[in-house]
Amino acid sequence: MASPIPDPTCAAVLSMDLQAAIVSIYTKGQNEFLPRIASVLGAARARGLKVIHVQVGFRPGLPEISARNVLFAAIKSNPQWQQVFQGPSGGIHPEVAPQGDEIVVTKHRISAFAGTDLEMILRAGEIDTLVLLGIATSGVVLSTLLHAVDADYRIIVVKDGCADLDAGVHSTLVDKVFPRLASVTTAAELIDALGSH
């Protein structure tokens, strides 16, 4: 595969929602998932791409959550679910954690863009190409991709760098929906393309 990244200095990897508790829920039995992500991040760093980490987080009392938001209201009403986003469980998994001065964006909705300063960071860095990976395929990856498409970013989705509890939904998205909007590749193909340029 030819590299879909014309200028690595204008590209960023968005490593999304790879928090310890979320990873443990969504990747049971997939022991190769985190090492694969770590390899992509390492190749991106070596090639000069920015790595930006996106995580879900809330203030004490979760004032960011509206009762009208079906998904997040369920978290606000359930102390057990709130623990997923607190303490070590809510931190980015150590295998794919930020290095050096890599930026961490905290979001309160599904999309990495909604209510965050991500767009400002990307524009300030002259970023026009986004590499997306994370959990869940039908959540943050889909939502962020749709926003990025409308904002005219060049997008690459690492399909085996995404996970979802519903394998059928994951397959439909990465095989049928995402290719209409973005380049879809595997971690190995992307690493190979980055290494060959």
Q: Is the bond preceding 136 in cis, omega lying within 30 degrees of 0? A: yes
Question: What is the radius of gyration, based on Cα positions, of the chain?
Answer: 16
pLDDT at 197 (0 to 100):
58
pLDDT at 58 (0 to 100):
81
User: How far is residue 192's CA from residue 104's CA, in Å, rounded to a whole number?
Assistant: 26
Cβ proximity of 85 and 56 under 8 Å: yes
Report in angstroms the alpha-carbon separations of 157 from 61, 85, 160. Answer: 34, 25, 9
18 domain residue, yes or no: yes
Report in angstroms the alpha-carbon separations of 133 from 82, 113, 165. Answer: 24, 15, 15
For the chain, list the strands marked E by DSSP: 11-16, 50-56, 103-107, 129-135, 154-163, 183-185
Tell me which amino acid residue 136 is.
A
pLDDT, block means (10 residues), the chain with 197 residues: 76 98 94 98 97 91 83 78 78 97 96 97 98 98 98 98 97 98 97 84
Query: Which range of residues forms the domain containing residue 42?
Result: 8-195
1 domain residue, yes or no: no
Q: How many C-alpha atoms does 27 have within 13 Å on its Cβ side?
A: 25
Helix count and strand count (H, E) for the chain: 9, 6
123 domain residue, yes or no: yes
3 domain residue, yes or no: no
Q: What domain count does the chain have?
A: 1
What is the CATH number for 55?
3.40.50.850
